[in-house]
Amino acid sequence: MRLIASILALVAAASAMTLNHERIFGDWKRQFGRAYGTHEEETMRFNVFRQNAAKVVAHNAAGHSWTMGLNMFSDLTEDDSAPSNIAASLANHGPKNYELSHLRAVGIPTSVDWTEKGAVTPVKNQGQCGSCWAFSATGSMEGAVFLNSGKLPSLSMSAIAQQPVSVAIQADQSAFQFYTGGVLTSNACGTSLDHGVLAVGYGSQNGDDFYKVKNSWGASWGLKGYILLGRGASYNRGQGQCGMLKMASYPVA
């Protein structure tokens, strides 16, 4: 972790033209256990790494409400890191029997964090398995069992005020994949759902409203495995940041 912190500090402070990419790439490979079969593949991945490092530097220098950094995706193109067959998995494993409910946002608290209430288990890492939908659904069930309540609503603060909510998002874009902190605002990711996650709370930070979302890429990703997604109907024409308002559910336990 100390190594990654030093790499991120260097990337944030240096310009893309002056980075010692070879040394940073070597440190990064050791941290994440990367090894390539051929010199040609290593050269290709090094070039992708340089491009992603430059993207991180440019983003952080622009003063956005969220930061980006190097992580396990840093030697991958967006096509490489796109979750394979996850969209199909989400469709195939969607709820078969459900009740659609619309909850009124009346008398709900201004912020909620179910991680502080014992209703959320530790962050897990799905690895190369396309099973995000299972992590998302299981997380919602765990919250329901903990709270002994639940329905299948349209996603709203009212729903998350009652328990963690399973949602689907688009996660194959760099703004999401390289996220390290802050509230992910602007329409930085789309609405082509390809990944299942768990909404565990909501609140505001520096004037930006957010949903707190638990991912399944391990605790070394994002904010110790979490991301703060911009909250509000203005994102993606009402479909939510990364499309998270399109497909949401929580179970009856």
Residue 151, classified by CB atoms within 10 Å of its CB into exposed (0-12), middle (13-18) or buried (19+), is middle
The pLDDT value recorded for residue 45 is: 97
The pLDDT value recorded for residue 124 is: 74
What pTM was estimated for this model as a whole? 0.77
Residue 69 scores a pLDDT above 80: yes
In this prediction, residue 163 has a pLDDT band, given cuts at 50, 70 and 90, of confident
Structurally, at CATH architecture level, domain 1-61 sits in Orthogonal Bundle (1.10)
Taking residue 221's Cβ as centre, other Cβ atoms within 10 Å add up to 22
Residue 191 CA to its chain's centroid (Å)? 14
Structurally, at CATH architecture level, domain 71-249 sits in Alpha-Beta Complex (3.90)
Alpha-helical segments (H) within 62-162: 78-81, 86-92, 132-147, 157-162
Residue 194 scores a pLDDT above 50: yes
In this prediction, residue 176 has a pLDDT band, given cuts at 50, 70 and 90, of very high
The C-alpha atoms of residue 105 and residue 234 are separated, in whole angstroms, by 18
**Residue range(s) of every CATH 1.10.287 domain in the chain:** 1-61
Chain segment 140-150, per-residue pLDDT in tens: 444 444 445 44
Report for 42-46, 152-156, 242-246: range of highest mean pLDDT: 42-46
Q: What percent of the chain has pLDDT over 90?
A: 43
Catalytic residues: 132, 195, 215
The pLDDT value recorded for residue 204 is: 97
In the three-class reduction of DSSP (H, G, I as helix; E, B as strand; rest coil), residue 90 is classed as helix
The pLDDT value recorded for residue 137 is: 47
The pLDDT value recorded for residue 8 is: 56
Is pLDDT larger for residue 222 or for residue 80? 222
The C-alpha atoms of residue 96 and residue 123 are separated, in whole angstroms, by 27
**Residue range(s) of every CATH 3.90.70.10 domain in the chain:** 71-249
In this prediction, residue 130 has a pLDDT band, given cuts at 50, 70 and 90, of very low
> What are the DSSP calls for 163-190, one per residue?
S-EEEEE---SHHHHTEEEEEE-SS-S-
The pLDDT value recorded for residue 64 is: 96
Chain segment 208-237, per-residue pLDDT in tens: 999 999 998 899 999 999 999 999 888 999
Q: Region 190-219: what's the mean pLDDT?
A: 93
E strand or H helix that includes residue 29:
helix 21-32
- Beta-bridge partners for 196: 168
Is pLDDT larger for residue 153 or for residue 156? 156
